[in-house]
């Protein structure tokens, strides 16, 4: 399948795709306990980071708009999204404190050296286990090999098996208060790996909401 760089006109589509992928997960339930508000809050918060990636990272999308990868170029320090505190409060309302806590916990694990941050990998639920996650990660790996820098990501517990096939190794886990466990992972520069199987046991994993 064809993978292309996302355009500005795609940003709302990508934000909705991320929210769709996250919605059924324990992390989503922890971030937004109210099921009536959950999808809209997730979409609105994801939209902040998708827009930010347009300026300070990159977004790649399958041509059928069913899967996307969002990353940040942390080759040097980058600023937070403009007016982030106000925008997060507007997007998340009473749930903003949960997103703040997630940001804080993830920032304690984030590398300070130059690196590429894979912030989101999302496959729409009705397109999971069809090879789209594999295609995006293979594309991601080839780009990492060209820039020759370490990479960082965070996955829900269980997602580390898929990322390990692309050179990522686990770091100390993060357990959210009364919530799920998240697994930070690092990929070293100069990593060389063989082509993985094309059938993923888990074809979609939500990466963290922190950039």
Q: Could you report the per-residue pLDDT of 162-175, keeping only the tens digit for each?
A: 899 999 999 999 99
Whole-number pLDDT of residue 160: 86
Around 54, how many Cα atoms within 13 Å sit in the side-chain half-sphere?
Answer: 16
Q: What is the pLDDT of residues 139-188, one digit of tens each?
A: 999 999 998 899 999 998 677 888 999 999 999 999 999 999 999 999 99
First-last CA distance in the chain:
28
Please indicate whether residue 198 or residue 95 has the higher confidence score (pLDDT). Answer: 95
Whole-number pLDDT of residue 177: 96
Characterize the bridge pairing of strands 181-187 and 115-123: unpaired
Q: What is the pLDDT of residues 78-103, one digit of tens each?
A: 999 999 999 999 999 999 999 999 99
Structure tokens belonging to residue 46: 């994801």
Whole-number pLDDT of residue 191: 63
Q: Give the 3-state secondary structure of residue 86.
A: helix
Per-residue buried b or exposed e for 185-197, using 16+ beta carbons within 10 Å of the residue's own CB: bbbebebeeeeee
CA distance 86 to 169: 35
CB 89 within 8 A of CB 44: no
Whole-number pLDDT of residue 200: 39
Asked whether residue 205 carries a pLDDT value surpassing 80, the answer given is no
Q: What is the pLDDT of residues 127-136, one digit of tens each?
A: 998 999 999 9
Characterize the bridge pairing of strands 115-123 and 57-62: unpaired
Whole-number pLDDT of residue 7: 96
CB 117 within 8 A of CB 151: yes
CB 134 within 8 A of CB 196: yes
pLDDT tier at 69 (50, 70, 90 boundaries)? very high
CA distance 24 to 202: 14
CA distance 99 to 118: 18
Mean pLDDT of 29-41: 97
Asked whether residue 68 carries a pLDDT value surpassing 90, the answer given is yes
Residue spans of alpha helices (H) in 26-179: 26-31, 35-56, 84-92, 96-107, 132-147, 160-164
pLDDT tier at 1 (50, 70, 90 boundaries)? confident
CATH topology of domain 3-191: Aminopeptidase (3.40.630)
Asked whether residue 209 carries a pLDDT value surpassing 50, the answer given is no
Whole-number pLDDT of residue 36: 96
């Amino acid at each position: 399948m064809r993978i292309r760089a996302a355009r500005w006109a795609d940003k709302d589509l990508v934000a909705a795709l991320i929210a769709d992928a996250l919605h059924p997960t324990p992390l989503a339930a922890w971030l937004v306990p109210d099921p009536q508000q959950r999808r809209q809050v997730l979409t609105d918060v994801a939209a902040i980071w998708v827009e930010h990636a347009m300026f300070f990272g990159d977004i790649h999308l399958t041509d059928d708009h069913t899967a996307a990868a969002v990353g940040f170029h942390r080759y040097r320090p980058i600023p937070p999204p403009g007016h982030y505190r106000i925008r997060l409060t507007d997007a998340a309302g009473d749930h903003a404190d949960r997103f703040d806590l997630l940001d804080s916990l993830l920032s304690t694990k984030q590398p300070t050296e130059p690196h590429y941050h894979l912030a989101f990998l999302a496959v729409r639920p009705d397109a999971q286990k069809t090879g789209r996650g594999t295609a995006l990660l293979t594309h991601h790996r080839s780009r990492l090999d060209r820039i020759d820098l370490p990479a960082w990501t965070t996955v829900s517990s269980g997602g580390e098996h898929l990322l390990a096939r692309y050179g990522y190794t686990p770091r100390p886990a993060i357990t959210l208060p009364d919530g799920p466990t998240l697994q930070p992972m690092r990929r070293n520069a100069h990593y060389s790996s063989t082509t993985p199987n094309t059938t993923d046991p888990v074809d979609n994993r939500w990466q963290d909401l922190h950039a």
